[in-house]
Chain A
Amino acid sequence: MSEVLVKPLRPVRSRTYLWAAGGVVLLALPFYLDRFWLQAGLFAMAAAIGAIGINLLTGATGQLSMGHAFFLAVGAYGYCVFAADGGDGLTGLGLPTWLAAVLAVLVAGAAGGLFSPISGRLSGAYLGIATLALVFIGQHVMFNAHDLTGGANGRDVPPLSLFGLTFDDRELLVAAVPFGSAEKLWYAGLVLLAAGALFARGVLRGRPGRAMNAIRDHRIAAGVLGVPVARHRAAVFVLSSMYAGLAGVLLALVFQRTVPDYFGITLSLEYLAMIVIGGLGSVSGAVAGAVFVSLLPQLLTRYSDALPLVSAPGTGGIAPGEASRYLYGAAVVLVVLFLPGGLVGAAARRHVGPRSGEIHPGEER
């Protein structure tokens, strides 16, 4: 029992060290990892930013959205349109690339705002399927508005330039390690993810977060309690779209080319899977889920030769692509049934152990 007395201090300390250690590792990774791993990490970071956005909307406010891929596309293509100089015959405004990135995020938010006549009125399944329409409309535009999107083969993404540093493949030697686009973007991705995560945490922990949870748990009761429901729902939709837009910009920069095939319905579903697996309604849940869902297929494909049950392509049996689909389909089902609160919720419970009197914001019902 004497341990209890020391406890209030220790978590803070060990947590800070843990964060610091994690930070060091993340900062040092570009010096060691191959481009493949850095790129996989960047995909995960972009997915994490997008997942934070949809977790604000679906997880915290209870608005099912299947149109996240559309807003990612708006961000990705928006950036290209603003930043390109039109040299490839496609529409390009030639703005400074950092401004283009900011504008692309704003345009994604505006697109979310334009959808508010629908998003403000519908909820549940209706909203989910109405947002599905966005994905179809988006793909139609991407394939057909050739001047804007480059059609089926997509368009090149101009590299980001910031303070005289260009995030392209020209080698830059840092401590004798050659830095290409993946290494440079890694840091940009970390900064964006950290900023996005902190902002979302602020939103969730403050008044708006409580209002959002109230709307999720009981819309009408929330309204009666004085929460401006329609305004909050529209605002969360816009905010979530902006996160998606930011994720789209980062993805475009990593891909170096945007292709319409990517922004399909599968992508929207993946984002929903991420937040369910990671944990609904929390920032860390979104990040954990994003890392899980985006790294899993990469890991399985990479090590397909060495894994049991999984066979190399062309030899029959379960291909790595299929194996990863089985795993993440099963993960969605199992997590919901056996780990309410997702991976993060489970980890937190384990950490706190039997002392668990603490209430997690995502678990309030």
Chain B
Amino acid sequence: MTTRYAARAAAGALAALLVLAGCSSKAKDSDDGDGDKAAGGVRTGEGISGKTITLGALTDMTGVYATLGKSVTQAQQLYVKQLNAAGGVCGYKVALSVRDHGYDPQKAVSGYTELEPKVLGFAQFIGSPFVAAVKQRIDGQDKALVLPQAWSAALLGSPYIRVIGSTYDIETINAVDFLIKEKGVKKGDRIGHVYFEGDYGESALVGSQHIAKEAGLTVVEQKIKPTDNDMTAQVTALKQAGVKAIVISAGPRQAASLVGVAAASGFAVPVIGNNSAFAPQLLATQAGPALTKNYYVASPSLPIGADTPEAKKLVADYRAAYPNDALDNGIVAGWTAASAFGEALKKACANKDLTREGVDKALLSIDSYDVGFGVAQNFTDPKAPSSRESVILQPDEGVTGGMKVVREAGASKVAEGYTPGA
């Protein structure tokens, strides 16, 4: 009895399936061309419907990079608002579609899959492992411009995924160069490098090892996990190894602990961190005094408190829009990425091609773009980061954003001659 029912049901199912499949809306239309021509002769494609250009932002507001994600996203929302107030691009308004993945790979990949068909490109994508996870799709078929908020050398080389500013390895080279030029580290010395397990830390380690080889230094490695918050054992080990300076490629908390412990135990060597190893919130903690004394940060651009008219305007506008939120360098990163995307859109508009290919091409033609944070971005070579320069900053409570400049933007000789990924 059951089998007969089952057989009948199966047959019915198959028939139903064939009928249903015929009228799917997903079926390919015959006129699915490469792009539509809108009024004014501008070619458009995915990501533009009606009078709106949609950009995606895959961010982390509830996970480990929540601090960065919040600042970057709010800065980008501010940029889009101002861009629209100034008339938009080509008569189109720009909209930012934000998805929070909370640093969870499944949500990140889902967010990409959801937004990809609807957006022209991504102004933000936090988490280099996740960018790597969809890299095949970006390079293979989607071909949308993606500006990751991850400065990993592993992401270079794709014409569509474009890292803005110096990657961590180059930044670390510039940081060690600062230690050599200004802090008396010389040939034969040992330097300590405390770094996160994972892409960020390991990318930075490649840089410190590279310049150590060039300059005759020895790197003493200390690998930590993002959950380690107490750097006592690391400082003890580095002290024992007799290092003359320490590089830290970790989070703000680890940097604060490291600097605090070193200072408290009378181990007064200079410490320099990558741009992710500082947050202004730390100045209010016990590590504050030690941080302002002996800690430096290498950054891909001038800090948010920079003395340029553009920076001052951004600070004023951001404060007006988000009065309760801290001013940090995530805002600069978000703003720079959004304006680079905006610039590419404007160029693409001038070329009358607002398709994904058009925007990719437009970005490739931008060779010197400065949003007012001291570093010119050159997007003409997909194999290289858009800049090799770093600014060296020092925490200072009296300055907006908590950082002042101690060495202006510049690329060290070693950084100039370095090929990422080689």
Contacts and interface: CB of A to CB of B under 8 A. Distances in A.
> Do A and B contact each other directly (Cβ–Cβ < 8 Å)?
yes
Contacts of A320: 100
Contacts of A35: 113, 117
A313 B59 contact: yes
B232 interface: no
Nearest to B102: A321
Contacts of B1: 12
Interface of B: 1-2, 5-6, 9-10, 12-13, 16-18, 20-22, 24-28, 59, 61-63, 70, 73-74, 77, 98-107, 109-111, 113-114, 117, 128-130, 132-137, 140-141, 152, 154, 197-199, 202
Contacts of B62: 319, 321-322
B117 A34 contact: yes
A144 B414 CA distance: 28
A261 B105 contact: yes
Nearest to B20: A28
B196 to A, nearest CB: 9
Contacts of B102: 321
Across the A-B interface, the 9 shortest Cβ-Cβ residue pairs: A20-B9, A152-B198, A176-B27, A313-B100, A257-B133, A36-B114, A31-B24, A175-B21, A321-B102
28 contacts: A16-B5, A20-B12, A24-B13, A24-B16, A27-B13, A31-B27, A32-B24, A32-B25, A34-B114, A34-B117, A35-B117, A39-B113, A144-B197, A151-B202, A152-B129, A152-B202, A153-B128, A153-B129, A153-B152, A169-B136, A169-B137, A176-B22, A259-B130, A301-B100, A313-B98, A314-B98, A321-B101, A321-B104
A40 interface: yes
Nearest to B69: A313
A19 B9 contact: yes
Contacts of A32: 24-26
Contacts of B133: 154, 255-257, 259
A302 B110 CA distance: 9
A173 B28 contact: yes
A16 B140 contact: no
Most chain A C-beta atoms within 10 Å of own C-beta, residue among B10, B62, B128:
B62
A298 B107 CA distance: 7
A17 B111 CA distance: 36
Contacts of B12: 20, 24
A27 B114 contact: no
A271 interface: no
Most chain A C-beta atoms within 10 Å of own C-beta, residue among B28, B133, B134:
B133
B77 A36 contact: no
Interface in A18-44: 19-21, 23-24, 27-28, 31-36, 39-40, 43
Given A35-B113, A321-B62, A175 B9 contact: no
Most chain B C-beta atoms within 10 Å of own C-beta, residue among A20, A23, A313:
A313
A13 interface: yes
A257 B132 contact: yes
Contacts of A43: 106, 110
Contacts of B101: 321
B27 A175 contact: yes
Contact of B28 (A153, A177, A261): A177
A12 B152 CA distance: 59
A13 B100 contact: no
A297 interface: yes
Interface string A135-168: 0000000011000000111101000000000000
A105 to B, nearest CB: 21
Contacts of A143: 197-198
A312 interface: yes
